[in-house]
């Protein structure tokens, strides 16, 4: 069961509005959110079943897409 509490990061900002991307991990047929790292340079996450890592780097000329498939 997930907590409804809000957590704050070091800067006192509300983590509920933390940027994320939706990833479909094709390896295990599961969906997971991955979040922006603290440096703000990449979205990083792992498949919840096989722990395969995915990293999507942030680029100023990037895309506005919010959902991706990890193969």
DSSP 8: B
Helices in 4-66 by DSSP H: which ranges? none
Q: What is the pLDDT of residue 69?
A: 95
For every one of its 71 residues, what pLDDT tens digit does the chain have, with 9 covering 90 and above?
333 434 455 666 666 688 999 999 999 999 999 999 999 999 999 999 999 999 999 998 888 899 999 98
Q: What is the pLDDT of residue 14?
A: 61
Dist. CA 65–CA 46, nearest whole Å: 19
Q: What is the pLDDT of residue 49?
A: 97
Dist. CA 52–CA 27, nearest whole Å: 8
Q: What is the pLDDT of residue 8?
A: 57
22 belongs to a structural domain = yes
- Asked if residues 32 and 40 have their Cβ atoms less than 8 Å apart, the reply is no
The length of the chain, given as a count of residues: 71
4 belongs to a structural domain = no
Q: How many domains does the chain have?
A: 1
21 belongs to a structural domain = yes
- The two tokens of residue 52 are 């395969």
């Amino acid at each position: 069961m997930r907590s409804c509490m809000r957590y704050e990061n070091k800067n006192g900002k509300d983590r509920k509005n933390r940027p994320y991307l939706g990833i479909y991990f094709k390896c295990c047929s599961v969906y997971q959110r991955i979040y922006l790292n603290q440096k703000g340079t990449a979205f990083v996450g792992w498949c919840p079943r096989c722990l395969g890592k995915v990293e999507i780097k942030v680029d100023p000329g990037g895309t506005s897409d919010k959902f991706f498939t990890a193969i």
